[in-house]
Structure 1
């Protein structure tokens, strides 16, 4: 009888534990689902508020708001093309500079650097990511811009000024501030983020795969090209898109060095503007409903650009995932 009673008690206790566990799972599921829905609700709320605030400007200017270069608060004529151009060009220039540098740093830290040197370099990269953007802007204005004006921009003008494409890109007065300086500062700012993601993804590559390639006589570059990159391509693309998203939305650092000129620059050395810089410079001084609405419309355009970039990144990652194993 005692054995039967003991077995019955154990079964009852196990049933109670299963019931408690199932109840806890339901609570956990509800909390996580609510958290995800809160994020979606926040994004939808932000988008809706931007659309409502931007509607007066969008209804007045229509599609011409995206194609007009005029920005005149006196006559209440506004266009977003200058800000869109400056945002895309400065971000593209930043990625052209930052991606190869970040790849080289991550590769050196994970594959080439001595063990005693890896930790200091990784710590320095993390410290760069912790510097506030306004500090980057002040440094770019007071240190980097004079250096570029005195040494780099005159040399680029002399070296590439006569070439068909590069002559256009590297043309303009060597005054230090402009789209080129903004792109360079953005590159320095996003390098730590891209490097950190690449480094972490490179470190998860199984050592047996790399050692097998080395045993077959492969060089370091061949191992990176044939083993490391195919294994980590999803993480690498994700890190690049993370840096691009940071560059698109950067405000204070770009405001300091881009020049804040409401005109399409004729070269990288000319002053320009970006959407974030325009918002930072003019939102507190906006007077009148249409002026404020135009600034909110700029924010809506930046929001849409960021969504498009993230959507393209997600599609690229899905395509890379589907191609794995082929």
Structure 2
């Protein structure tokens, strides 16, 4: 061993060609570092450009309406030769439809992930998992067309007409289900379509993180006599809670910004809904429906830029909330 050590030069530069290889490596590292830095800066510049474009376009509307734009439910392109626009209805529809979609999607996604990781036989896991992932590849406009011809009639016949009277009699919350419109296109229908759209993202995330739990943890719990549900509740969920929350927030972000599918089934009514079965609108659907008809530089176009800017702010707040939740979970 001592003889071997004596044959190795103490200075690596004494090895022939080492200095040349080290110099080329240093150049490669600098190029790689520059490319990575440029990619990061490009993301910041792109984000800043989007924010700046939206804000500049929205500035005339903010100056004209002030803070009243945020709390006004008016959306009248022509009213006594005055244009009145407000963001309350579209913001309300965006937030409520996304929250309802999360309420519908999360339990189903958890059931799918639990089935695939704990209950399904090996021959069935791959086909079901592939089917769930294929749902994410369906274009949103296809979801919208399917929702218009399948989900809308289903909600109209089997929920509003069949169960509406019973839902209205539920204490304290029955007013939420009072049906004033029986067209089928409503906030509730949009939430169902959104839930189906975000389901594969949440379910795939849960399945992947559930599979990362060390088997010894679950086997130890089973050895103590725990049931499958007790193992999931006491071992798997605590171990994966951070990633589960991240997957849910990913689905929420997708639901907030969805456009075409919602436009097909929500009814596109610029008035405040009184129940979940009333037609409504969202920020994305308002922009999709009315932006092509707006004149360049008009107050209407500025109002559309303003609601787009508000959608960006809402998405940012959701992301910030998810980061805060994850950070608090890590500290806990």
TM bucket, shorter chain: over 0.9
Q: Distance in 2 between matches of 1:263 and 1:29?
A: 52
- Which has the larger displacement, 163-172 or 244-253? 163-172
Q: Is the 8 A contact 2:269 2:281 kept in 1?
A: yes
Task: Name the CA distance, whole Å, in 2 between partners of 1:277 and 1:38.
Answer: 29
Alignment of 1:216-295 (within 5 A): 216-287=224-295, 289-295=298-304
Residue 5 and residue 121 in structure 1: after superposition, are their counterparts in 2 closer, same or farther (change >3 A)? closer
Match of 2:309 among 294, 300, 305: 300
1:41 aligns with 2:45: yes
Contact 1:157–1:170 at 8 Å: present in 2 too?
Answer: yes
Match of 1:26 in 2: 30
CA contact (8 A) 1:177 1:258 kept: yes
Q: 1:68 aligns with which of 55, 72, 90?
A: 72
Scaled by the length of structure 1, the TM-score of the pair is 0.94
SS, match of residue 293 in structure 2: coil
- Check the 8 A contact 1:201/1:232 in 2, yes or no: yes
Runs of 4+ in 1 over 4 A off after TM superposition: 4-10
Unmatched 5+ residue regions in structure 1? none
Residue 269 of structure 1: how far off its partner (Å): 0.5
CA distance in 2, matches of 1:309, 1:264: 23
For residue 321 of structure 1, report the CA deviation from its aligned partner. Answer: 1.4
TM-score, with length taken from structure 2: 0.93
Q: CA RMSD in A?
A: 1.7
- Aligned-partner Cα distance in 1 for 2:99–2:163: 19
> Structure 2: which 5+ residue stretches go unaligned?
1-5
Q: Distance in 2 between matches of 1:5 and 1:225?
A: 60
Return 165-174 or 308-317, whichever deviates more. 165-174
Which residue number corresponds to residue 3 of structure 2?
A: none
For 2:217, the equivalent position in structure 1 comes to 209
Change (3 A) 1:293 1:9: closer
1:285-310: CA deviation from partner (whole Å, max 9, x where unpaired): 01251111000001000000000000
> Is contact 1:156–1:170 with CA below 8 Å preserved after alignment?
no
Change (3 A) 1:6 1:220: closer
Asked if the contact 1:98–1:190 (Cα under 8 Å) also holds between the matched residues in 2, the reply is yes
Query: Which residue of structure 2 aligns with residue 143 of structure 1?
Result: 150
Question: Which sits farther off after the overlay, 167-176 or 213-222?
Answer: 167-176
Q: Does the CA-based 8 Å contact 2:136-2:200 persist in structure 1?
A: yes
Aligned residues: 320
1:57-98: CA deviation from partner (whole Å, max 9, x where unpaired): 001101100000000111211000000000011011100000
CA contact (8 A) 2:13 2:19 kept: no
Please give the alpha-carbon distance, in whole angstroms, between the structure 2 residues aligned to 1:318 and 1:73. Answer: 45
Identify the residue that residue 320 of structure 1 maps to in structure 2.
329
Task: Give the superposition deviation at 1:6.
Answer: 9.6
